[in-house]
């Protein structure tokens, strides 16, 4: 994909330079995050509910609720702003968090825990991961 996909403008807004195909791909990613937060059987659900304090059998319920709420809020805000041409700072941060949650959840659900495993995964999966990395790379440059 030539050129940057996200640009921080002088007025502080972040311009989205994605075509319909790109937005469609992101829509699918965001929808997965929303679904996995609600569905305990979703393949991403486990990675989104990782332990906070592994030395305890159960994490503090207040902390886990806060995490659930914030991930869902970010994902829903991302879905709501999918068709916008410009994002404000909070919206762009929600996009970054949701994309990163999706990227890590993809890796965890496919058992990609090291470089070796990453390089040996199926080409379609690798393309999916590279797309999310590229989006994150350009979006992170706006902060």
Task: Looking at residues 111 to 140 of the shown chain, list those that interact with another protein (rule: CB under 8 A).
Answer: 112-115, 117-118, 129, 133, 136-137, 140
Total of residues contacting another protein (CB under 8 A): 37
C-beta neighbour count of 73 within 10 angstroms:
14
Q: Is 1 in the site for another protein (CB under 8 A)?
A: no
Q: Is 88 in the site for another protein (CB under 8 A)?
A: no
Q: Is 53 in the site for another protein (CB under 8 A)?
A: yes
Q: Which residues contribute to the site for another protein (CB under 8 A)? A: 50-55, 60, 63, 66-67, 70-71, 74, 93, 96-97, 99-104, 106-107, 112-115, 117-118, 129, 133, 136-137, 140-141, 143
């Amino acid at each position: 994909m030539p050129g940057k996909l996200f640009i921080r403008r002088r007025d502080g807004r972040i311009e989205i330079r994605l075509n319909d195909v790109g937005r469609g791909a992101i829509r699918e990613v965001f929808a997965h995050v929303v679904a996995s937060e609600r569905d305990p059987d979703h393949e991403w659900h486990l990675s989104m509910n990782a332990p906070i304090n592994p030395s305890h059998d159960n994490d503090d319920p207040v902390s886990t609720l806060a995490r659930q709420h914030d991930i869902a809020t970010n994902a829903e805000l991302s879905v709501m702003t999918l068709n916008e041409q410009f994002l404000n700072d909070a919206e762009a941060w929600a996009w970054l968090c949701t994309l990163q949650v999706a990227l890590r959840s993809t890796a965890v659900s496919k058992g990609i825990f090291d470089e070796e495993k990453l390089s040996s995964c199926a080409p379609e999966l690798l393309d999916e991961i590279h797309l999310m990395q590229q989006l994150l790379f350009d979006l992170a440059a706006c902060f």
